[in-house]
Amino acid sequence: MLNGFYRLLGPWLPALRRLRRPSSIGALQTVPLSTEWGFDRGTPIDRYYIERFLDAHAADVRGRVLEVKSPGYTRRFDRGVTRADVLDIDGSNPDATIIADLTAADQVAAEQFDCFILTQTLQFIYDVHAAVRHAHRLLAPGGVLLVTLPVVARISPRYGLETEYWRFTAASCRRLFGDVFGASNVEVRTYGNVLVDMAFLQGAALEEIPRVKLDVDDPYFPLVVTVRAVRRTLIP
């Protein structure tokens, strides 16, 4: 009896489901709220997850620390930093202490850093395998690489259409970093959900999203993927 009822109702079920969970897609625009990831409205949403990850691993930010472009996160999450270095390919960067291309950094001495903070950078590097190999080489035995990468993000208007190459997934990161550091030395996690993905692409700011929505992590709709990779301690 019930099955017969559902067969009669069948053609109307999608419409009834839409009424029960109405879509707000009509309120979305083809032009984003912000062209700068939400900086002009407040804090970009992805920063919430990047900083949540770094805060969870702040104990790793110690000894000699390397960061790309700026020492901002090194200073913010300092748990015993003895020296802060900044890597940049751009020699005009006043913060840079090491001028090098991470994919060809052979001139930079190996095994000298206890921590390497590498946030939202690898999407701009075509040869990501070489970059990860050099990141591993630069770490001292027992050193930690803390990485964040975009799963969902707009193309950067600041650098143009020919400078971004990749978006990442948890699966690709397990392979990419596991092949170099060893799978048992790599921890991968994703953050975000479909709501924050859409909000981030639209250029909404962190301050516009309720905390309860931000803290829902759906592995099928991540915004950011994070990696903590440890260089094996040498065995005498």
122-179 per-position pLDDT tens digit? 999 999 999 999 999 999 999 999 999 999 999 988 778 888 999 999 999 999 999 9
Task: Write out the H or E segment, with its range, that includes residue 170.
Answer: helix 170-181
Q: Are strands 63-68 and 81-88 parallel, antiparallel or unpaired?
A: parallel
Distances (CA, A) of 217 to 11, 125, 212, 227: 34, 27, 11, 16
User: In the prediction, which pLDDT does 44 show?
Assistant: 94
User: In the prediction, which pLDDT does 6 show?
Assistant: 52
Tell me which range, 85-94, 152-161, 225-234, is most confidently predicted by mean pLDDT: 85-94
What is the average pLDDT value for the chain, to the nearest integer? Answer: 90
Segment 3-21, tens digit of pLDDT:
555 565 566 545 555 455 5
User: In the prediction, which pLDDT does 234 show?
Assistant: 60
Give the residue, 82 or 29, on which the prediction is more confident. 82
Rounded to 5°, the CA angle 99-127-202 comes to 90
Burial class (CB in 10 A: 0-12, 13-18, 19+), 32: middle
**114 touches 64 (CB < 8 A):** yes
Does domain 57-192+221-230 fall into CATH 3.40.50.150?
yes
Q: Are strands 224-230 and 186-191 parallel, antiparallel or unpaired?
A: antiparallel
110-128: average pLDDT: 97
pLDDT tier at 236, thresholds 50, 70, 90: very low
State whether the Cα torsion 148-154-155-158 is positive or negative: negative
User: In the prediction, which pLDDT does 74 show?
Assistant: 98
- Show me where the domains of the chain are located: 57-192+221-230
Segment 183-215, tens digit of pLDDT:
999 999 999 999 999 999 999 999 999 999 999
Residue 40 confidence (pLDDT) above 60? yes
Residue 39 confidence (pLDDT) above 60? yes
218-227: average pLDDT: 98
**55 touches 78 (CB < 8 A):** no
Following DSSP, what letter does each residue of 33-88 receive, concatenated? S-SSTTTTTSSBHHHHHHHHHHHHTGGG--EEEEEES--HHHHHT-SSEEEEEEEE
- Phi and psi of 177, rounded to 5°? -85, -35
pLDDT tier at 35, thresholds 50, 70, 90: confident
In this structure, the dihedral spanned by the alpha carbons of residues 181, 184, 186 and 188, taken in order and rounded to 10 degrees, is 150
